[in-house]
Chain A
Amino acid sequence: MNHSVFAKLIISLSALCLAVPAASAQTLTGYDVMKKADEVDTGTTGSYTATMTLLSKNGSTRVREVVCRSRDFGGVTKSVIVFRTPKDVAGVGYLTWDYDEKDGVKKDSDNWLYMPAMKKVRRISGSDSGGNFMGTDFTYDDMGDRGLTKDTFTLLGEESAGGTGCYKVECRAKDTTEKNPRRILWIRKDNFVMQKGEFYDKQNNLQRELICSGITLIDGIWTTSVMTMKNIVTGHSTVIEMKDVHYNQNVDDSIFTVASVERGAVK
């Protein structure tokens, strides 16, 4: 299990799933579109339960469920994520302090992991940006929590996806050794929420495809309810469903501390 990737995944998941209309109709560049998508309002606090269903090519399924709480402290977003299932990782908790990009530089997040079987909190690396997490088909990079300085963006045009008008943006990583150096994203024109994504490998072959659905307003914030990532090569896919989503509610600051994670305050 790659814990640090997961911690980042959830942070990125929040940023990706939640968006508000942020632009008027005008001529935009690829960078403009992605900047607006990156600046979407995610609320001061957020809480949700995410169910990740892993589907293999032969039809077998595995289910992971996590509960998440997050709060934007201004310059740093703190999140705590706790596993409910499967049972062998139930109670495993992650605390992440994710820092905003500043002067074109994004500082590595601070991450702590609590494993009930080990009875202690462990500091974990905050820079792992590759690899799948928990067997899902999602990675940290897939979810876009990478700032805007690591890619160059090209607006390929406008195209309908999921029955909605979208900007089609090509993202090319400046570091060509990355797992997916080329991505094509469909960003909705009305609210700058991602509708679809394609992820290409180093040989420029389509590797994975992301489909977002159930995009609805919750507490005044656009929220993606279902994300399906399919690995074209292996036939494996992952469906993430968001439940019990709430924003801007009172969340106790003290739960975003290592001591709280160690106590198992979030269940």
Chain B
Amino acid sequence: MKKIHIIFCMILAAAGISVSAQEASFSGSVKSAAGVYVYGEDNAGHVSLAEETVSGTLDASAGSCSAYATGNVSFDALAAAQTGTLSAADGLSSQLGEAWFAWTSAAFGDGLTAGIKAGRQITAWGKADGIRIADVLCPQDLTTLYASTYSESRLGVDALKLNLSGTVFSADAYWIPVFRPSALPLESTNPLRKIVIPESVTVSGTTIPVTLGSIERPELTLAAGSYAGRVSFWLPAIDFSLYGYYGWDDTPVVTYSLVMSGYTPTGITVSGNYYRYGMAGFDAALPAGPFVFRAESAFFIERAFARTAETVLAGGSPYLRKNQLMSLAGIDWTRSGWTVTAQYYEDIVPGWDDTLDRRMRAPGATLSVSRSFLSDTLTLALSGAVNWNDFDSYASLSADYALTDQVTLTLAADGFFPGPDGDGEYGVYKELSNVRLNGVYRF
């Protein structure tokens, strides 16, 4: 970790030196966030968030070449306090979000531009908002519920990108030689851990502890890379893209094994493995008056799905490969400061069987409404999502106020609501419902 800190500081220092020497800019922010849980006998009133983050971005260019680097250093006071030592170092973390250089040339005639981009980069695919359909290129940061932007919710991949673009199209090819998984909330201080891995389970009336075993990553060999491609068209009547991906699933398939003492189970060990799959997808956006209609679909080929703990503990294989189809339809409406978006999505596994640790269908819907006031210095937003299977839901209410052009304050509340017959996907987080306040200074 110290090594990462040093590298990040070197980047910042280099930025400060070079800004005045060439066409380069350095910007950043200082963010302070605090929050409190509002639900649950054990949780309500407890601090949910106490974090300071310093971010920096270097953006440089010279002729047809450019370079970009962004990273942050965070101090999580809550994590530091929970380790018992209350030291700054225990709560410190840093992350290199992106660091790439690019070369672009328009010297190919007929309006064609070709380019290369190499290094850690974040790329977003698809037309969906907040729902992952074809957007598989970059892994997710699943360690927090408080990511406020897409960039904060994703991890950069170390990739080589080739691009060819014209007036109405762009074609990208990616080679990702080094696998990077989604970040999972496995730290003991992370409140999400107990939802991913329960502390104990009851087997035949006996409560036994659950421990985390190893999560095996693919070997770092040339043959173990991932490959992807996108072709996009932007036409007066419609935008559409085609996607292809062959590579690693960035979330592991979880498996279970019993720890035995003689013939008596004394614990369960949870471990995981990553598997490859293929994906073919498309998206489209059609403007029509004040509306924009959006669609996105992805077909996953031979994806590995975890089987239920009962199946695995009874000696079954830990996963089955099945095809999967995910689709989304959405509509945006914008008028006079109002923005409304609504989406419906389906997630289906054809050939599903009841040993899989998921349902055959997982449909859902999202709704977002926002309105700006006071010369756009105040924005109120309400967004929510509901799962169709259990009718569990999530809702967020936020108010952003720009105190000055540099300082923005945000008051937000997140609520997770179980369905009538069970927690469901959102309801399991109900005790993490919270209210939080952020302040950001940007420079």
Q: In the bound complex, do residue B234 and residue A260 qualify as a contact, i.e. CB atoms below 8 Å apart? A: no
Closest to A2 in B: B337
Contact with A along B367-379 (1 / 0, CB 8 A): 0000010111101
Partner of B165, one of A4, A108, A128, A257: A257
Q: Which residues of B contact A131 (CB under 8 A)?
A: 335-337
Known: A257-B167, A263-B104. A123 touches B285 (CB 8 A): yes
Which of A56, A87, A126 neighbours the largest number of chain B CB atoms within 10 Å of its CB?
Answer: A87
Q: Does A127 contact B (CB under 8 A)?
A: yes
Partner of A62, one of B232, B239, B289, B405: B405
Q: 1/0 contact trace for A247-260 toward B, CB 8 Å?
A: 00000111011111
Given contacts A86-B406, A119-B123, A260-B113, contact A132 B375 (CB under 8 A): yes
- Contact between A87 and B406 (Cβ–Cβ < 8 Å)? yes
Bound-state Cα–Cα, A3 to B338, Å: 11
Query: A2 near B124 (CB under 8 angstroms)?
Result: no
Which A residues touch B25, using CB under 8 A?
267
* Contact flags A221-240 to B (C-beta < 8 A → 1, else 0): 00000000000000010000
- The answer to whether B443 and A258 touch across the interface, beta carbons within 8 angstroms, is no
A245 within 8 A of B: no
Cross-interface CB contact of A254 among B111, B234, B406, B408, cutoff 8 Å: B111
A120 touches B (CB below 8 Å): yes
Q: How far is the CB of B436 from chain A (nearest CB, A)?
A: 18
Number of interface residues of A (CB under 8 A): 52
Interface string of A66-99 (1 = CB under 8 A from B): 0000000000000000000111101000000100
Assembled-state Cα–Cα distance A130/B338 (Å) = 11
The distance from the CB of B342 to the nearest CB of chain A, in whole angstroms, is: 15
In the assembled complex, the CB of A114 is this many whole angstroms from the nearest CB of chain B, namely: 11
Task: Report which of B123, B294, B442 forms a contact with A87, defined as CB distance below 8 A.
Answer: B442
Q: Tell yes or no: B315 within 8 A of A by CB.
A: no
Asked if A1 lies at the interface with its beta carbon under 8 angstroms from chain B, I say: yes
Q: Residue A63 at the B interface, CB < 8 A? A: yes
The chain A residue with its CB closest to the CB of B150 is A118
Tell me which residues across on chain B come within 8 A of A253, comparing CB atoms. 111, 167
Q: Is the CB of A135 within 8 A of B167?
A: no
For residue B442, which residue of chain A has the nearest CB? A87
Are A259 and B111 interface neighbours, CB within 8 A? no
Residue ID in chain B nearest A90 by CB atoms: B27
B146 within 8 A of A: no
In the complex, A117 has a CB within 8 A of chain B:
yes
Let me know if B334 is at the binding interface, CB within 8 A.
Answer: yes
Contacting pair A267 B287 (CB below 8 A): no
Interface assignment of B413: CB less than 8 Å from any CB of chain A: no
Q: Are the CB atoms of A125 and B151 closer together than 8 Å?
A: no
CB distance from B18 to the nearest CB of A (A): 16
CB distance from A12 to the nearest CB of B (A): 17
**Selected contact of B334 from candidates A116, A117, A125, A265, CB within 8 Å:** A125
Is A124's CB within 8 Å of the partner chain B?
yes
Q: Output the least CB separation between B97 and chain A (Å).
A: 11
A124 touches B408 (CB 8 A): no
* Contact for B122 among A56, A119, A260, A267, CB less than 8 A: A119
Distance A266 CA – B377 CA, assembled complex (angstroms) = 26
Name the CB-closest residue of A to B379. A1
Please give me the residue from chain A that is nearest to B374 by CB atom.
A135
When chains A and B are docked, how far (Å) is the Cα of A267 from the Cα of B166? 20
Is A13 close to B, CB under 8 A? Answer: no
Is residue A54 contacting chain B, with contact meaning CB distance below 8 A? yes
Contact between A125 and B406, CB atoms less than 8 A apart: no
The verdict on A112 contacting chain B, using a C-beta distance below 8 Å, is yes
- Give, as a whole number of angstroms, the nearest-CB distance from A2 to chain B: 6
Query: B residues touching A (Cβ–Cβ < 8 Å)?
Result: 25, 27, 29, 59, 61, 102, 104, 106, 111, 113, 115, 122-127, 149-151, 154, 163, 165-170, 232, 234, 236, 239, 285-287, 289-292, 294, 332-337, 339, 372, 374-377, 379, 402, 404-406, 408, 440, 442-443
A-B contact list, 17 entries, CB within 8 Å: A4-B334, A54-B375, A62-B402, A88-B440, A90-B27, A116-B151, A117-B150, A122-B285, A123-B234, A123-B286, A135-B372, A253-B111, A257-B165, A257-B234, A259-B169, A260-B113, A267-B61
Closest 10 CB pairs of A and B: A135-B375, A131-B336, A135-B376, A259-B165, A87-B442, A119-B124, A117-B149, A123-B285, A259-B170, A120-B124
Q: What is A's interface to B at a CB cutoff of 8 Å?
A: 1-4, 54, 56, 62-63, 85-88, 90, 97, 108, 110-112, 116-128, 130-136, 236, 252-254, 256-260, 262-265, 267
